[in-house]
Chains A and B, each alone.
Chain A
Amino acid sequence: GQQVQQSPASLVLQEGENAELQCNFSSTATQLQWFYQSPGGSLVSLLSNPSGTKHTGRLTSTTVTKERRSSLHISSSQTTDSGTYLCAIEDSGTYQRFGTGTKLQVVP
């Protein structure tokens, strides 16, 4: 089945720095989503980007389908960005599989 690898596993940034998170997957993705999990555990979708580049606020995702990779760029990081970022992939099946996430800590 689909394998989803995220890197780095953890990241510490100074406030204002940029973050680059990576997601690699093993087979063709028909859907790719980035999720944010707060330190308290709640999960929300950030954006959906199965191919190309998509922007929302300070977030930019670039997915290169044929290379089976996606990145999430967070610009001008804030302490409130701290949490875990999860990549989820759907291939030809009917549900999404998740990576193990990147834990981001932004310090003042």
Chain B
Amino acid sequence: EAAVTQSPRSKVAVTGGKVTLSCHQTNNHDYMYWYRQDTGHGLRLIHYSYVADSTEKGDIPDGYKASRPSQENFSLILELASLSQTAVYFCASSDKSSAETLYFGSGTRLTVL
């Protein structure tokens, strides 16, 4: 069974603080993704990666950085958290290309105060 694990499950951060969301997959997948979900907007892609030590911008990358230190791990970094970044964040992985099924983590609920 494909497995994508996110941590933490929820987090409260202060405006201007640094937040790091972590994702670990045991699927041996090349591709990993970070999406955010807001009411009324569905899921929107922030960053993705198809190989370790390389990341690519998605549709809404502003205010976010990503890091892929290994095939298994993919982090999303908010250097200066803002109120507008309050959302649920999902990590996903897929095999070789996004034509394959996306396997999602359980999500991280981030609240920025």
Partner-B contacts on A (CB < 8 A)? 1, 4, 30-31, 33, 35, 41-45, 48, 86, 88, 90, 94-101
The number of inter-chain residue pairs (CB within 8 angstroms) is 54
Q: Is there contact, CB below 8 Å, between A95 and B42?
A: no
Interface size of B by Cβ–Cβ distance < 8 Å?
26
Q: Which of B42, B44, B107 contacts A41 (CB 8 A)?
A: B107
Q: Is there contact, CB below 8 Å, between B42 and A42?
A: no
Q: Is there contact, CB below 8 Å, between B98 and A31?
A: yes
Q: Is there contact, CB below 8 Å, between A94 and B42?
A: no
Interface majority SS on A: helix, strand, loop or mixed? strand
Q: Is there contact, CB below 8 Å, between A42 and B106?
A: yes
Given A31-B98, A94-B50, A41-B106 contact (CB < 8 Å):
yes
Q: Is there contact, CB below 8 Å, between A90 and B98?
A: yes
Give Cα distance in the complex from A49 to B89, angstroms. Answer: 26
Q: Is there contact, CB below 8 Å, between A98 and B107?
A: no
Closest chain A residue, CB of each to CB of B39 = A100
Given A95-B58, A97-B59, A33-B102 contact (CB < 8 Å):
yes
Q: Which of B40, B45, B50, B92 contacts A97 (CB 8 A)?
A: B45
Further contacts, 12 of them, CB under 8 A, given A96-B45, A100-B42: A30-B99, A41-B106, A42-B106, A43-B102, A44-B104, A45-B101, A86-B42, A90-B99, A95-B58, A95-B98, A96-B98, A97-B45
Q: Is there contact, CB below 8 Å, between A95 and B90?
A: no
* Residues of A close to B98: CB separation below 8 A: 31, 90, 94-96
